[in-house]
Structure 1
Amino acid sequence: MIKDLLPNQVVCNEKDEKGKPCHGKLKRYYPFASYFNENDPGRLEEIKKEFGQDPTLVLLRCEDCRMIYRLPAVLKEQLKQR
């Protein structure tokens, strides 16, 4: 699942099985970069389906639970991403 980033969000808000938020740090994630190997093929297929296979694609991913977030329009402009 790929979630939308809320305004001013800097940590993950995905809840675990007990209902507690993860609060892991969000880091840049380059799913199609040549140096990065995604170990979940289902997640990679979901990204390809939504965004295409762009080697310059940048998303955000939680360090702890690995939830993926879409970049908001403001960050896309800053990173010069379509």
Structure 2
Amino acid sequence: MDTQHVTSTETDQPTIRPLKGYQTSCDAKNEKGKPCWGFLKIWYGAPDELTRTIPRDHVIYRCQKCGQLYHGPPHRHVSRSWRKMEMIAPER
């Protein structure tokens, strides 16, 4: 009986893509070539092996739909409404 050796070309670690600017949704394409557009959330439970591969001040984001991983700086307020509130603050 012949045995076939299956070699995997993919590594065990998933690819971590960098974020683009104020990106808040996944742009990974599925098998049909359409973008996922799932929401990106910070992944607090990321394994230490993954957190060691990204810069120290970055965090790992994970798509809620497809699970694609991204890395980038932590997002602050995407809408600048918090600055408007500071400007409108009443004087004492």
Normalised by the shorter chain, which TM-score bucket? 0.5 to 0.7
Percent identical: 37
Residues 12-23 of structure 1 aligned to structure 2 (within 5 Å): 12-23=26-37
Which 4+ stretches in 1 moved above 4 angstroms?
none
Bigger share in helix: 1
Computing the radius of gyration from Cα coordinates, the structure with the larger value is: 2
8 A Cα contact 1:29 1:61, kept in partner: yes
For 2:53 and 2:41, the matched residues in 1 are separated by 20
Over aligned residues, Cα RMSD in angstroms?
Answer: 2.6
Any gaps of 5 or more consecutive residues in structure 1?
33-43, 52-56
For 2:30 and 2:68, the matched residues in 1 are separated by 11
AA at the equivalent of 1:47: L
For 2:52 and 2:21, the matched residues in 1 are separated by 25
For 1:31 and 1:24, the matched residues in 2 are separated by 19
8 A Cα contact 2:51 2:60, kept in partner: no
